[in-house]
Amino acid sequence: MELFDSRSASTLSATQVVEAYFSAFARGDIHDVITLLDDDVVWHIDGNLNVSTVGILQGPAQVKHWLESFPHNFQPREFTVAELIEHNDSVLALGRFRHTV
């Protein structure tokens, strides 16, 4: 069950989009996550280049592939969003995200 109508996703505030993203991600609902992304999405995942999930992803298809492989590469230990700070069209998410890789 979708928490939002993907046709109206463009009417959400930036904070609402981020909240919907984290909610969909926590549920493992890749469809909803991808629906929230712009066609020109670029993810830059920092870290040790020896880790298979580190690098730059461009476009929804690459992000979808990364999300599908996420459960095979990570075991969540803690995932808490403490605060979302919106400024103009940007949102900063503060929290704790710990995983075993």
Kindly report, residue by residue over 70-84, the tens digit of the pLDDT.
888 778 888 899 999
Name the pTM for this structure. 0.78
| Share of residues in the chain with pLDDT > 70 (%) | 90
CA–CA distance, 17 with 22 (Å, rounded to integer): 9
According to DSSP, the β-strands at 42-45 and 55-58 are antiparallel
User: 10 Å Cβ neighbour count for 33?
Assistant: 20
Structurally, at CATH architecture level, domain 6-73 sits in Roll (3.10)
Alpha-carbon radius of gyration of the chain:
14
* Domain residue ranges in the chain: 6-73
Kindly report, residue by residue over 24-49, the tens digit of the pLDDT.
988 889 999 999 999 999 999 888 88
Is pLDDT at 8 greater than 60 in this prediction? no
DSSP string, 42-93: EEEE-S-TTSTT-EEEESHHHHHHHHHHHHHH-EEEEEEEEEEEEETTEEEE
